[in-house]
Structure 1
């Protein structure tokens, strides 16, 4: 099966992607499952802000060990990368 040469549009995602099969489709009138990209973006944003502020706050206190602050800052970077990935997927037109 060949993939399209053009970028996918919102209509492509609304119709369903090729080779996608939902085994629960039509059972009890259930709608097709959708990705929760908006929820994932909100949670990644919260994690970014919380971990960044907590990490910087932890490092600001002089008599505490530094490794927990560094771990929190690494988690903030992971949350930032996840937020960028989610926002790019939403800008591409994926529903959710």
Structure 2
């Protein structure tokens, strides 16, 4: 395997690396669900400060999901609106 910034034939450059948006979307959704559920559990247990911290992290994950969706729509527009199936790592 060549040692370098990116394997040959891959999209993206050193200045503008390629971002796997679908993987980011899955991870952000997982983080939002986990943080929200744990936040509710902590509130019910009477631990308000950790509950608020996890609620804030869930809100950050929600904002990340919105940003990722904007970027996925921009990618679809840049590709000409074709409904190309992207893998999890694209």
- TM-score for the superposition, normalised by structure 1: 0.62
Q: RMSD of the TM alignment (CA)?
A: 2.3
Answer with 1 or 2: which has the greater Rg. Answer: 1
1:45-78 deviations in Å (ceiling 9; x for gaps): 000100001001110113xx31101000000000
Alignment of 1:1-96 (within 5 A): 30-32=8-10, 33=12, 34-62=18-46, 65-93=47-75, 96=90
List alignment gaps of at least 5 residues for structure 2: 13-17, 77-85
Deviating runs (4+, > 4 A) in structure 1? none
Task: State the distance in 2 between where 1:58 and 1:24 align.
Answer: 43
CA contact (8 A) 1:47 1:76 kept: yes
1:10 is aligned to none
Distance 2:9 2:67 in 1: 26
Q: TM-score, normalised by structure 2?
A: 0.66
